[in-house]
Amino acid sequence: MWLLGIGIVFLILKTQELTVVATWSWWTILAPFGLAAVWWAYADASGYTKRKAMEREDARVQARIQRQRDATGNGRRRK
């Protein structure tokens, strides 16, 4: 996501002819978009995206279970 943001900033600076970015070649300006596409392809192919989604889902489920335990008073452990 960072690469996409950097690419957008570079694109805006280039088209508005602001700062030193206006003198850069278009290949340099468009490179972050290509790198972002490569990263997304790698993340999907390696399972990184699915693994992160499953971790978020597991965390959400555990938080819901803990909220239910706290609401019923079963969240405290006995010694």
Please give the mean pLDDT across all residues of the chain.
89
Whether 49 shows a pLDDT value over 90: the answer reads no
Which residue's structure tokens are 């700062």?
Answer: 19
* Whole-prediction pTM: 0.63
Neighbours of 16 (CB within 10 A): 10
- Binned at pLDDT 50, 70 and 90, residue 12 comes out as very high
Q: Please report, for the chain, the start and end positions of each structural domain, with discontinuous segments joined by +.
A: 2-72
Whether 77 shows a pLDDT value over 70: the answer reads no
> What was the pLDDT predicted at 48?
84
The answer to whether the beta carbons of residues 46 and 27 sit under 8 Å apart is no
> What was the pLDDT predicted at 74?
75
